[in-house]
């Protein structure tokens, strides 16, 4: 009875606004298991509660989240090891509450004036991430309960799953808990893990493929509290020519205390802290080397390949005057890859193949990298192996397994180096492939050749070692200059030497295209998965390799005892081998050579691709949709039966218009779609018209349409060749119809497309009078499609084929 009265009295005091004294820490923590460290933790095993002592904190810290256990679906992207946002935060006591506030590091005033700093702080929003009640206080301790905080949806999975049309999901507290084995505290960081179960009504298809019960999806969320680095790091200004990562608004800093004559916006290059033991020496060990740790869950021989590829970066640091400053080791037993103390290369499994990533945790104030975190998708190596099978047809009387492994492992070494490069701060350089594979930061296509006997040669498929561009980038970003040196001037000299050496640099935003067609990039040297200094010459060469590979394509591309239907799995990347080089060649149409020139650096700004080069590119691209190029041998077509049970269709196969029977015409349509989509891309078309204002000798979009129509309607063959011709014509008309009704396309581009369709309609009328019934029917369909385009904003269309995914390889 007495206890009830005390409790009631306490409630009455709270209602009356009288502050109730917090509990004594010794009483609250009497039965707790202590974890001393940066943020001292206290675990209550009987209740499953986790408390923290924030009394010793005296300023801001870094807080970030992640997924220590993921969902497993590539399409959802919720991978093991995925990192969330990182913030500069601080705990603020307000009466009986403690607020965890994320500070605004984008809008600042770098001034000694308190008034100036306060003016900016009060002008822009901050974010209170959570509010805690003070659980206990005394003896210098300030205890808060972290349990609900770490069991919240910190990674916004519920919102993400809803956006992906998978359903509405929320964290179910009764099925969630602190995960003690991965909850630890160290002198400079505290790591907390939580098991979270999201419950909801499944609506999509993806969760059901990876979760035992799609209505209850359990993952692990990770929280890291990190002590701020000391003031010994010197940030350097971002330079768009240097090849370092720039995330746009995400990393810009607006300094409102900047002088009027200085820009208000600035950005820092992201990089690790690295100092020479002797900065005056040409070659010196580092004060503290950069060490990366490889996931012990990687099997051999892949593990060895990952370690070797990542270790290539030491070559770049040696070129910058460091001895053994970059090291790669195996992650120690018991170490947590989410722990901020470890730069890691993590091996991540998914249900389908997907991208690899190089992420990092950084000090938001300076962009200093404090943790590099590489995610390597485990199925990538199997895709490379599949590509090699199609090229080599290795399963004869003397299987060439070693050649297949060598091919796949060479790619994995390069992939490891590439993703580690991102975590060192380096951006993609999609021009490197045109300069003798000058960087691991490009996307490499296997450099496959045909020898004098007509055999496929893959011995030089992937380069080895770090590239010359990579060495220049590391030299610029990581050189440690002697104390008496002017580091800004010295870094400017390094950049001048890089430019004088003729290195090309094309960043992501000028090499990647749209999701629909992957078309659009205008720089003739900036492409993904390409080779060679001349994209058109390389396209012609790749087409010859493709022809040789298809000529040798047989049941020897699959292992004995494997279903014959699996020939199609190997055929897809072989048949579409040219897809990336088509995209590279297309950059010449309306293309511009340009640089990230800065006033006074002596670089050219931009110039159009020569007219002859543009017309050569157009001719070579149109050759890729010639009927004989698209044809598959009859013997091969008849060798691919319907898929057996438990080996169903997937997006990695050619589309089906015939039910479950292999459709060579649909395969041809996918190849046609790739080329036609590039030629009729609305942005490229607008650039073609735009360039005629610079020179009347350059081709315009109307010329592309005339040449395309002349090539694609040149013949009216019988039999299989006629089927190929009709599929390409249908693809061309379909894409023109889309262009005519594309409100975002330039007016002249739509007008050009409309005129071309009118001319094609006249050709279709002739086809409709053909003696061949197939051509007569085709002409009627084309005519009807064009009438629909002209008559409505929602034209009659034949559904375009779905091209099997290409990237990543």
Question: 72 and 221 in contact (C-beta within 8 Å)?
Answer: no
- By three-state DSSP, how is residue 52 classified? strand
- What pTM did the predictor assign? 0.93
Which positions ≥6 away from 72 have C-beta within 8 Å?
79, 80, 210, 349, 350, 351
Question: 685 and 702 in contact (C-beta within 8 Å)?
Answer: no
Alpha carbons within 13 angstroms on the beta-carbon side of residue 206 total 19
C-alpha pair distances (Å), 91 with each of 37, 61, 132, 447, 686 = 17, 9, 10, 55, 54
**723, containing H or E segment:** helix 719-740
| SS3 track for 476-530 | HHHCCCCCCCCHHHHHHHHHHHHHHCCCCCCCHHHCCCCCCCCCCCCCCCCCCCE
d(C-alpha 742, C-alpha 460), whole Å:
44
Q: 107 has which bridge partners?
A: 254
Pick out the chain residues at pLDDT < 50.
1-20, 515-518
d(C-alpha 625, C-alpha 674), whole Å:
10
What pLDDT is attached to residue 2? Answer: 43
Which of 556, 345, 566, 531 lies closest to 449, judged by CA?
531
d(C-alpha 552, C-alpha 663), whole Å:
20
d(C-alpha 209, C-alpha 212), whole Å:
8
Question: 469 and 417 in contact (C-beta within 8 Å)?
Answer: no
Radius of gyration of the chain (CA): 31
Burial label for 662, CB within 10 Å (0-12, 13-18, 19+), is buried
Phi, psi of 606 (to 5 degrees): -160, 155
Which positions ≥6 away from 594 have C-beta within 8 Å?
523, 604, 605, 606, 607
Report CA torsion sign: 338, 342, 343, 347. Answer: negative
d(C-alpha 143, C-alpha 137), whole Å:
6
421-432: per-residue pLDDT in tens?
A: 999 999 999 999
What pLDDT is attached to residue 797? Answer: 61
Question: 103 and 60 in contact (C-beta within 8 Å)?
Answer: yes
Query: Would you report the helix, strand and coil content of the chain in percent, each value rounded to 5?
Result: 35, 20, 45
**675, containing H or E segment:** helix 664-679
Question: 655 and 739 in contact (C-beta within 8 Å)?
Answer: no
d(C-alpha 504, C-alpha 101), whole Å:
44
Question: 421 and 272 in contact (C-beta within 8 Å)?
Answer: no
Q: Where are the domains of the chain?
A: 2-103+126-226
The CA-based angle 78-79-83, given to 5 degrees, is 85
614-661: per-residue pLDDT in tens?
A: 999 999 999 999 999 999 999 999 999 999 998 878 899 999 889 999
d(C-alpha 527, C-alpha 246), whole Å:
19
Number of helical (H) and strand (E) elements in the chain, helices listed first: 23, 28
d(C-alpha 145, C-alpha 795), whole Å:
61
């Amino acid at each position: 009875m007495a206890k009830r009265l005390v409790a009631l009295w306490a409630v009455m005091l709270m209602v009356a606004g009288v502050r109730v004294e917090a509990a004594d820490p010794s009483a609250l923590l009497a039965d707790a298991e202590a974890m001393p460290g940066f943020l001292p933790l206290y675990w209550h095993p009987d209740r499953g509660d986790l408390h923290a002592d924030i009394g010793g904190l005296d300023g801001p810290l870094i807080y970030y989240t992640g997924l220590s256990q993921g969902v497993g679906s590539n399409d959802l992207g919720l991978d093991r090891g995925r990192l969330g946002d990182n913030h500069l935060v601080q705990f603020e006591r307000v009466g009986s509450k403690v607020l965890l506030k994320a500070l605004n590091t984008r809008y600042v005033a770098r001034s000694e004036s308190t008034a100036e700093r306060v003016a900016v702080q009060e002008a822009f929003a901050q974010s209170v991430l959570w509010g805690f009640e003070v659980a206990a206080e005394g003896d210098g301790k300030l205890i808060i309960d972290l349990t609900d905080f770490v069991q919240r949806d910190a990674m916004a999975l519920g919102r993400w799953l809803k956006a992906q049309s998978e359903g509405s999901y929320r964290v179910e507290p009764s099925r969630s808990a602190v995960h003690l084995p991965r909850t630890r505290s160290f002198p400079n960081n505290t790591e907390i893990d939580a098991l979270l179960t999201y419950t909801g009504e499944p609506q999509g298809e993806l969760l059901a493929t990876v979760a035992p019960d799609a209505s209850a999806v359990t993952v692990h969320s990770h929280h890291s509290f990190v002590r701020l680095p000391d003031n010994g790091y010197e940030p350097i200004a971002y330079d768009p020519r240097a090849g370092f990562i720039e995330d746009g608004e995400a990393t810009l800093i607006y300094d409102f205390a900047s002088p009027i004559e200085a820009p208000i916006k600035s950005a820092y290059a992201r990089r690790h802290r690295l100092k020479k033991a002797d900065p005056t020496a040409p070659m010196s060990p580092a004060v503290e080397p950069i060490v990366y740790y490889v996931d012990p869950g990687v099997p051999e021989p892949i593990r060895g390949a990952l370690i070797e590829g990542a270790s290539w970066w030491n070559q770049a640091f040696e070129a910058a005057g460091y001895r053994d400053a970059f090291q790669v080791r195996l992650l120690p037993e018991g170490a947590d890859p989410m722990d901020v103390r470890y730069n890691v290369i993590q091996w991540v499994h998914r249900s389908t193949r997907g991208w690899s990533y190089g992420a990092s945790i950084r000090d938001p104030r300076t962009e200093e990298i404090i943790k590099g975190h590489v995610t390597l998708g485990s199925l990538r190596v199997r895709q490379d192996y599949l590509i090699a099978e199609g090229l080599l047809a290795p399963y004869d009387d003397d299987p060439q397994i070693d050649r297949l492994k060598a091919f796949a492992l060479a790619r994995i070494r390069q992939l490891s180096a590439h993703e580690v490069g991102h975590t060192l701060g380096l951006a993609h350089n999609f021009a490197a492939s045109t300069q003798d594979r000058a960087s691991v930061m490009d996307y490499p296509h296997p450099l496959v050749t045909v020898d004098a006997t007509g055999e496929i040669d893959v011995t030089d498929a992937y380069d080895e070692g770090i590239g010359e561009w990579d060495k220049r980038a590391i030299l610029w970003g990581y050189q440690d200059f002697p104390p008496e040196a002017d580091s800004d001037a010295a870094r400017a000299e390094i950049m001048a030497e890089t430019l004088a050496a003729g290195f090309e640099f094309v960043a992501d935003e000028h090499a990647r295209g749209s999701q629909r067609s992957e078309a659009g990039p205008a720089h003739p040297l900036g492409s993904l998965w390409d080779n060679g200094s001349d994209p058109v010459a390389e396209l012609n060469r790749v087409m010859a390799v493709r022809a040789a590979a298809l000529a040798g394509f047989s049941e020897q591309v699959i292992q004995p005892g494997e279903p014959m239907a699996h020939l199609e799995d190997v055929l897809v990347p072989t048949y579409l081998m040219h897809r990336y080089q088509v995209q590279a060649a297309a950059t010449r149409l309306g293309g511009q050579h340009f640089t990230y020139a800065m006033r006074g650096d002596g670089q050219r700004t931009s110039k159009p691709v020569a007219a002859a080069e543009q017309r050569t590119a157009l001719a070579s691209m149109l050759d890729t949709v010639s009927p004989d190029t698209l044809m598959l041998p009859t013997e091969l077509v008849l060798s691919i039966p319907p898929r057996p049970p438990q080996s169903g269709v997937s997006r990695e196969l050619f589309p089906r218009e015939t039910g479950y029977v292999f459709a060579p015409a649909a395969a041809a349509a996918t190849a046609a779609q790739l080329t036609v989509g590039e030629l009729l891309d609305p942005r490229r078309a607008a650039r073609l018209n735009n360039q005629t204002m610079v020179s009347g000798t350059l081709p315009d979009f109307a010329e592309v349409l005339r040449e395309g129509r002349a090539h694609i309607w040149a013949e009216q063959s019988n039999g299989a060749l006629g089927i190929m011709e009709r599929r390409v014509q249908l693809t061309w008309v379909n894409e023109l119809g889309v262009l005519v009704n594309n409100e975002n396309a330039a007016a002249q581009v739509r007008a050009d497309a409309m005129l071309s369709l009118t001319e094609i309609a006249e050709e279709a009328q002739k086809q409709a009078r053909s003696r061949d019934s197939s051509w007569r029917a085709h002409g009627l369909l084309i005519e009807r499609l064009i009438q629909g385009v002209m008559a409505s904003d929602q034209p009659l269309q034949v559904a375009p084929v779905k091209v099997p995914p290409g990237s990543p390889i």
